[in-house]
Every structure is written in structure tokens, then in C-alpha cells.
């Protein structure tokens, strides 16, 4: 039987008033589900696509699509960072997230993928203000996106790239007065499967065909360079070792988020790729870096710091690799962030279990190579999933070290809230599993505008001009994709 429940089992689950998951498993799915996943997200609110292309070419295990929320946790943005009353409200709401998530555990087959029954969404950078007393300056909030959105999709489709199995899940919450007819559920899941087999007529994309964008920043170049100089003064004074100021780029963009995603997954494949369609805005991203991962009580952080372009051939590629490994500035900056990651894991893990499982390794992607390390630890008892997340939030690679003082300096230097940029995106399960990435190389589409934010790590011997250009170059991953979208009239 392809379905998880017989009719009697299905009706019994309703009578017992349990949250449960009804699903269909197709053992060998012989089609590419991604084109239809993109269509689903484009045409449904509270929907998402989440996939992975690791190390530039290898697919991550799961490609995930979900839509039609049955439970949403949302914390709306504060109008001003200094409004104490609203800040207090947000803090209380934030601290209740764990309790809310824990109420939505599902009875489910243990063989289902780990994200079955999970909340999907994002947590904005400013949520750190609900934990630490950092913000002192009034800030503009141009995008007005909520501080946090997490939701359980009614329908979740998971494709296992290892076994080629496809799971089509429907989540049912307790308390429903009348059960949906069993045959209706079967037909619904069968229809979803049949749609996934349909061939999607996608327009061919010419990656060389671009239309130049008119781009503006929320800060002038001279002011940004002055901010870098201010940051270096704090470093020389001993306040910090590193800080990551950023700027936000803006351009007109009347195309769909689905078009941007289609191009971005071709031009900048990454370990964390996502496309969210939410009320009034869309998120399209291609991030290289884990924020916090939690599986079977094993917490993982994976700091990335240090970048070189890919070479045109094997010889040049090797040259850039050796250059990166021998660059004292890059390696010392990476070591700082590795130490910070070890400290973050140590906050919530049993001390004897904190381990650096990979150190200063080179990971190669389609356009760049990065210097990467890996830190793990076994979670202490009575530490919640959200507590584990916040131990590493925000990542040192988007804030600095020491983290609290670096964030205070960012608060001083940046005139607008960061919002989704430098926050986290992914899933959190009531069962304790979690997989989140840092929001990097990401575009926010709202009101016919595209916003892309990027930062650069400033250390003692940083060159302000080069640090400015680093932020420009990082933003190009998304902005170049947008130029291809417009050039192809997608």
C-alpha cells in the first residue's frame, strides 16, 4: 500500500484527537519535481521551495516544497527600535515560541524525512534585540517585513535525491469537527502526484543576455567607507577584533520571484537554496552557510570566512586555493570566527562533547571557493530548540567578534534595520530537529522592488576600499541573476 493509513486508521486518528500526518510514498519517482515545485510556490501564498546543491554540483539529500499554512507564528516588526512597549511585547512573544512549537507535535511514521511536521520560515536579525540589550538608535524600516514567520504547511512534498523516493504529506491538526472524506484525501494526494509528472514548459534562458539595472544603495560610498574607518578605530581601541557592516541595494523589479529563482539556481548553486512566497513579499536566496543545525541532539555550526574566485582551469584553481590558505588576514579572520563558533556551541552543549570536526578546509562552489570549519557538540538536557538556535544567532560571519559589542557597533553604524538579511531561514521541528542557514546572497521582492543586502568583515588591517567592493561583489550574485531575468523577459 502506497498510503500511510487505511480508512479505519484514518478515522481513528481523528477520533483520538491527535495531530497526525497522512502521506503517500512513491518509491521510485521518475521525474524532476523541481519545475512543478516552482510553479506551486508561485501560485500559492505561505509556500516555499527548499533545496540544496552542495559543493557546486552535488545535490543535497532533500528537495522540499510546502504550501497552505495550517498554523502560523508571526511577530510583526516594531515601528522603531526604541519603542520599549512594543519591544517588550515582541520579547514576550519571542520567548513563547518554544512553547507554541511544542504544542504541535505530530504522530508520524519514524521513516518519514526529519522535516515532516516541522515549522518552516525565517527569523530576522533584529530578533537578537529580544534576547540582548543592544539597540540604542532609531532606525528606518523600509521593507516592513515581519520580524519572524514560521508556519506548518498543510501539504508538504519531499523528494529524496538519494533513494529517488517522493513523499506527499498532508498535516492534520486535532480539533477538526468533521473529518475530510478519506477518498477525498486519496484523490488530493494522487492529483498532486499526477501534476508532478506533467512537463512544465519553461522558457529557455540565455545566461549571456542581460539588461543593466539601475541600482542604488541605502548609504553613499563615502559614508560606508567612513563607517569602515570608524569600525577600525574601535578595533584599534580594543573594543572588538572584527565587525561586519553592510549596505542594502535596491532596484526596480517587476518580474516574478519564480523567475529570479530559476536563474539563481543556474548561476549560483549553493548548499541552501530557497524561494518563499509570503503575503506582500517574496524571498529568493542562495546561501552557502549553515546557521545552526540540530539532529538527534547533535548541534552543528559551520563558520565560513575567506573567499577566492574559482579558476578558469585546474592549475589556476589550485593557485587560488593555495593563495587563500596562505593569506594571513583571511586565516586569522577565520580563526576568530572558528573560536566564536566553538564558544557558541559551548553555551548549549555538554563541554566534553564540543569538537572541531573540520578545520580550514577548502570548499569549492560554482563561482567561488571558501575557507570552512565545522564545530559540533551534544546538546545539554533541558535546552530547547530555540535556545540552541539563539546560541549561534546571529552568526559571527554577519556580526563580528566579540559578538555583542560588534552588534552594538553595527547598530550605531547602520541607519536601517537589517530585517531578514543576516537572520536565519529553514525549519524547526517540534521533535527537536532543526536545519537553518544564514540569510546571505538573498533578494527580497516587494512592491515591484528587489532588495539585496551584503556585508564585509572589517579587521585591524582592512583596506576600506576593498571592503566596500566586497559588499558590492557579494550582492552581484543576486543582482546579476536579476539582470538575466530582465534580459530574457522572464
Q: How long, in residues, is the chain? A: 490
pLDDT in tens, 225-245: 999 999 999 999 999 999 999
Is the pLDDT higher at 248 or at 16?
248
pLDDT of 56 higher than 60:
no
Report the C-alpha gap between 476 and 484 in whole angstroms: 12
Tell which residue, 127, 138, 132, has the closest CA to residue 402. Answer: 132
pLDDT band, very low/low/confident/very high, at 250 (cuts 50, 70, 90) = very high
Cα distance from N-terminal residue to C-terminal residue, the chain: 42
pLDDT at 368: 80
* DSSP collapsed to 3 states, the chain: CCECCCHHHHHHHHHCCCCEEEEEEECCCCCCCHHHHHHHHHCCCCEEEEECEECCCEECCEEEEEEEEEEEEEECCCCCCCCHHHHHHHHHHHHCHHHHHHCCCCECCCCCCCCCCCEEEEECHHHHHHCCCCCCCCCECCCCCCCEEEEEEEEEEEEECCCCCEEEEEEECCCCCCCCCHHHHHHHHHHHHHHHHCCCCCCCCCCCCCCCCCCEECCCHHHHHHHHHHHHHHHHCCCCCEECCEEEEEEECCCCHHHHHHHHHHHCCCCEEEEEEECCEEEEEEECCEEEEEECCEEEECCEEEEEECCCCHHHHHHHHHHHHCCHHHHHHHHHHHHHHHHHHHHHECHHHCEEEEEEEEEECCCEEEEEEEEEEEECCCCCHHHHHHHCCCCHHHCEECHHHHHHHHHHHCCECCCCCCCEEEEECCCCCEEEEECCCEEEEECCEEEEEEECCECCCCCHHHHHHHHHHHHHHHHHHHHHHHHCCC
**Which entry of 167, 421, 451, 468 is annotated as an active-site residue?**
421
Q: What is the dihedral of CA 419, 262, 273, 101, to 10 degrees?
A: 70
Average confidence (pLDDT) over 315-337: 92
214 closest CA partner among 253, 247, 246 = 253
Catalytic residue among 334, 370, 423, 455: 370
Q: Which cell is 59 given?
A: 545535490
Q: For residue 413, give the nearest of 240, 216, 219, 242 by alpha carbon.
A: 219
Examine the residue annotation and report whether 441 is marked as an active-site residue of this protein. Answer: yes
Q: Is the dihedral of CA 394, 397, 398, 399 positive or negative?
A: positive
Spot the catalytic one: 376, 397, 436, 471: 397
pLDDT at 22 > cutoff 80 = yes
What would the pLDDT profile of 104-134 be if each residue is shown by its tens digit? Answer: 999 888 889 999 999 999 999 999 988 887 8
Active-site residue, 78 included: no
pLDDT digits (tens, 9 = 90+) for 288-316: 899 999 999 999 999 988 888 889 999 99
| 420 vs 97 pLDDT, higher one | 420
Query: Is the pLDDT confidence value at 76 over 60?
Result: yes
Q: 21-25, 206-210, 328-332: which range is least confident on average?
A: 328-332
Residue whose entry in the numeric block shows the C-alpha cell 572588538:
240
* Predicted pLDDT at 96: 82
| Amino acid 203: pLDDT | 86
pLDDT number for residue 78:
53
Conformational region of residue 81, where left means phi above 0, alpha means psi within -120 to 50, and beta covers everything else: alpha
Residue 482 has pLDDT above 90, yes or no: yes
Whether 296 contacts 283, CB under 8 Å: no
- Is cis: bond before 89, omega within 30 of 0? no
Picking from 413, 442, 405, the residue whose alpha carbon sits closest to that of residue 291 is: 442
pLDDT at 141: 87
**Is-contact 272 288, C-beta < 8 A?**
yes
Q: Which residue has the higher pLDDT, 485 or 99?
A: 485
Residue 397 annotated in active site: yes
Q: Which residue has the cell 546557521?
A: 291
Q: How many C-alpha atoms does 4 have within 13 Å on its Cβ side?
A: 22
Share the mean pLDDT of the chain.
91
What's the mean pLDDT in 318-343? 92
Say how far apart CA 444 and CA 70 lie, in whole Å. 24
Number of CB atoms found within 10 A of residue 165's CB:
16
The pLDDT score that the predictor gives to residue 79 is 46
Judge whether residue 489 has pLDDT over 50: yes
User: What is the residue whose three cell numbers read 522540499?
Assistant: 64
Distance of alpha carbon 224 from alpha carbon 219, whole angstroms: 6
Mean pLDDT, rounded, for 264-271: 92
Nearest to 146 by CA among 446, 352, 477: 446
Angstrom distance (rounded) from CA 409 to CA 457: 13
Indicate which residue of 441, 443, 456, 471 is catalytic. 441
Question: What is the pLDDT averaged over residues 357-385?
Answer: 90
Q: State the pLDDT at residue 123.
A: 96
Question: Which residue is catalytic, options 396, 400, 443, 457?
Answer: 457
Domain 7-198+209-297+379-487: give its CATH code: 3.60.120.10
The confidence score (pLDDT) of residue 92 equals 64
Whether 1 shows a pLDDT value over 80: the answer reads no
Angle of CA points 55, 58, 61, to nearest 5°:
115
Q: Among 17-26, 135-144, 204-213, 219-228, whose mean pLDDT is lowest?
A: 135-144
CA–CA dist 300, 356 (Å, integer): 10
457 tagged catalytic: yes
Tens of pLDDT along 403-433?
999 999 999 999 999 999 999 999 999 999 9
If pLDDT is split at 50, 70 and 90, which confidence band does 266 have? very high
Tell me how many degrees the CA angle 453-253-122 measures, rounded to the nearest 5: 45
Amino acid at each position: 500500500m502506497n498510503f500511510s493509513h487505511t480508512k479505519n486508521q484514518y478515522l481513528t486518528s481523528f477520533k483520538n484527537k491527535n495531530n497526525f500526518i497522512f502521506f503517500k510514498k512513491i518509491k521510485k519517482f521518475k521525474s524532476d519535481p523541481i519545475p512543478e515545485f516552482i510553479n506551486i510556490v508561485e501560485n500559492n501564498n505561505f509556500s516555499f521551495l527548499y533545496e540544496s546543491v552542495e559543493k557546486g554540483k552535488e545535490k543535497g539529500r532533500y528537495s522540499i516544497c510546502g504550501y497552505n499554512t495550517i498554523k502560523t507564528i508571526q511577530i510583526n516588526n516594531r515601528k522603531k527600535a526604541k519603542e520599549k512597549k512594543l519591544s517588550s511585547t515582541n520579547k514576550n512573544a519571542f520567548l513563547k515560541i518554544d512553547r507554541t512549537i511544542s504544542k504541535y507535535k505530530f504522530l508520524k511514521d519514524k521513516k518519514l524525512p526529519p522535516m515532516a511536521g516541522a515549522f518552516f520560515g525565517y527569523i530576522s536579525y533584529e530578533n537578537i534585540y529580544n534576547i540582548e540589550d543592544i539597540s540604542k538608535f532609531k532606525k528606518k524600516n523600509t521593507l516592513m517585513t515581519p520580524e519572524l514567520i514560521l508556519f506548518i504547511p498543510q501539504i508538504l512534498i519531499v523528494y529524496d535525491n538519494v533513494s529517488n523516493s517522493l513523499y506527499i504529506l498532508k498535516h492534520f491538526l486535532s480539533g477538526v469537527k468533521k473529518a475530510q472524506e478519506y477518498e477525498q484525501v486519496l484523490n488530493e494526494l494522487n492529483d498532486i502526484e499526477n501534476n508532478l509528472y506533467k512537463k512544465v514548459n519553461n522558457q529557455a534562458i540565455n545566461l549571456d543576455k542581460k539588461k543593466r539595472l539601475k541600482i542604488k544603495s541605502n548609504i553613499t560610498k563615502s559614508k560606508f567607507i567612513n563607517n569602515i574607518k570608524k569600525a577600525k578605530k574601535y578595533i584599534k581601541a580594543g573594543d572588538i577584533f572584527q565587525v561586519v557592516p553592510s549596505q542594502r541595494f535596491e532596484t526596480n523589479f517587476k518580474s516574478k520571484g519564480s523567475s529570479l529563482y530559476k536563474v539563481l539556481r543556474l548561476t549560483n548553486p549553493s548548499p541552501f537554496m530557497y524561494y518563499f512566497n509570503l503575503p506582500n513579499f517574496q524571498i529568493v536566496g542562495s546561501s552557502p552557510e549553515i546557521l545552526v543545525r540540530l539532529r538527534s541532539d547533535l548541534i552543528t555550526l559551520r563558520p565560513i570566512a575567506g573567499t577566492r574566485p574559482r579558476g578558469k582551469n585546474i592549475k589556476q584553481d589550485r593557485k587560488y586555493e593555495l593563495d587563500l590558505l596562505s593569506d594571513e588576514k583571511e586565516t586569522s579572520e577565520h580563526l576568530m570566527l572558528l573560536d566564536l563558533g566553538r564558544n557558541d556551541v559551548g553555551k548549549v552543549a555538554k563541554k566534553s562533547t564540543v569538537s572541531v570536526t573540520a578545520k580550514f578546509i577548502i570548499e569549492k562552489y560554482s563561482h567561488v571557493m571558501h575557507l570552512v570549519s565545522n564545530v559540533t557538540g551534544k546538546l545539554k538536557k533541558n535546552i530547547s530548540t530555540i535556545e540552541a538556535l539563539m546560541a549561534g544567532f546571529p552568526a559571527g560571519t554577519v556580526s563580528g567578534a566579540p559578538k555583542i559589542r560588534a552588534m552594538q557597533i553595527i547598530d550605531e553604524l547602520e541607519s536601517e534595520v537589517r530585517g531578514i538579511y543576516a537572520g536565519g531561514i529553514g525549519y524547526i521541528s517540534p521533535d527537536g530537529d532543526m536545519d537553518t542557514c544564514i540569510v546571505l546572497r538573498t533578494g527580497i521582492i516587494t512592491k515591484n522592488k528587489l532588495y539585496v543586502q551584503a556585508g564585509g568583515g572589517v579587521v585591524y588591517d582592512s583596506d576600506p576600499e576593498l571592503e566596500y567592493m566586497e559588499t558590492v561583489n557579494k550582492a552581484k550574485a543576486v543582482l546579476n541573476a536579476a539582470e538575466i531575468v530582465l534580459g530574457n523577459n522572464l
